[in-house]
């Protein structure tokens, strides 16, 4: 028993309407920001200055809730004055920079028409790292074993006005920047500015 052309047409119309409805609730944008981090906060007091930049995708589940997924690049690390004695016995400052590709998946709850709170996990890949003694780049062999996978928890506050938004986020790292060395976990604060291209009132 075949399916009638009428049923096929109705099914196609239903699927197109569903896709259109879902697409209408998806917003795309970009963001960039300043990221201040500590990697190994237990032994290093100095904050590291970095940045983040990337893309934003947000799906409106309802008027109150949205599912947010970002894809961005960030720099983190640590700095320490007089942090090491080199092979010649000279005391030097240490700075380590780490680059990550990050994928946070956040739930946003609109507490006010112009403000939302955020929370969720963040997955990452460590793409590059650089070590400096007194601002002189060192051989990567001095680094410990790389931890490629990164995982953290993110909470934040977002303020929005039409296409623009600003957010303050805190990141609590659960994995170390080095394998087999648990203390090098990142704590970071970022201030981001963003623009949503297809914002709808």
Residue 10 resides in a domain: no
In a domain, 8, yes or no: no
Residue 50 falls inside a structural domain: yes
Whole-model pTM: value is 0.80
Range of 42's domain? 27-196
- CATH code, domain with 192: 2.40.160
Residue 83 domain-assigned (yes or no):
yes
Model pLDDT for residues 112-142, shown as the tens digit of each residue: 999 999 999 999 999 998 888 887 777 777 7
Asked whether residue 72 is assigned to any structural domain, the reply reads: yes
Q: 21 in a domain, yes or no?
A: no
Is 87 among the domain residues?
yes
Number of structural domains (the chain) is: 1
Per the domain annotation, does 19 fall within a domain? no
- pLDDT, one tens digit per residue, over 52-78 is 999 999 988 888 999 999 999 999 988
List, as one string, the DSSP characters of the chain. Answer: -PPPHHHHHHHHHHHHHHHHHHHHTEEEEEEEEEEEEEESTTT--B-EEEEEEEEEEEEESSSSEEEEEEEEEEEEEEEEEEEEE-TTS-EEEEEEEEEEEEEEEEEEEEEETTEEEEEEEEEEEEEEEEEEETTEE--GGGS--B--EEEEEEEEEEEEETTEEEEEEEEEEEEEEETTEEEEEEEEEEEEEEEETT---
């Amino acid at each position: 028993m075949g399916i009638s052309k009428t049923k096929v047409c109705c099914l196609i119309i239903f699927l197109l309407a569903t896709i259109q409805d879902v697409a209408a609730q998806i917003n795309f944008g970009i963001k960039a920001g300043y990221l201040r981090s500590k990697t190994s906060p237990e032994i290093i007091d100095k904050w590291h200055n970095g940045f983040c930049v990337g893309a934003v995708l947000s799906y409106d589940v309802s008027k109150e809730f949205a599912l947010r997924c970002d894809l961005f690049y960030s720099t983190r690390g640590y700095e320490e004055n007089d942090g090491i004695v080199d092979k010649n016995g000279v005391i030097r400052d240490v700075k380590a920079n780490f680059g990550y590709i990050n994928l946070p998946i956040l739930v946003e709850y609109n507490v006010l028409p112009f403000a939302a709170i955020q929370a969720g996990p963040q997955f990452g890949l460590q793409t590059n790292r650089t070590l400096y003694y007194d601002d002189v780049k060192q051989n990567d062999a001095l680094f410990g074993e790389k931890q490629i996978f990164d995982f953290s928890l993110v909470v934040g506050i977002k303020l929005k006005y039409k296409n623009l938004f600003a957010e303050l986020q805190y990141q609590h790292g659960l994995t170390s920047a080095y394998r087999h060395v648990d203390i090098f976990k990142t704590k970071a604060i970022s201030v981001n500015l963003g623009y949503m291209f297809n914002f709808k009132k």
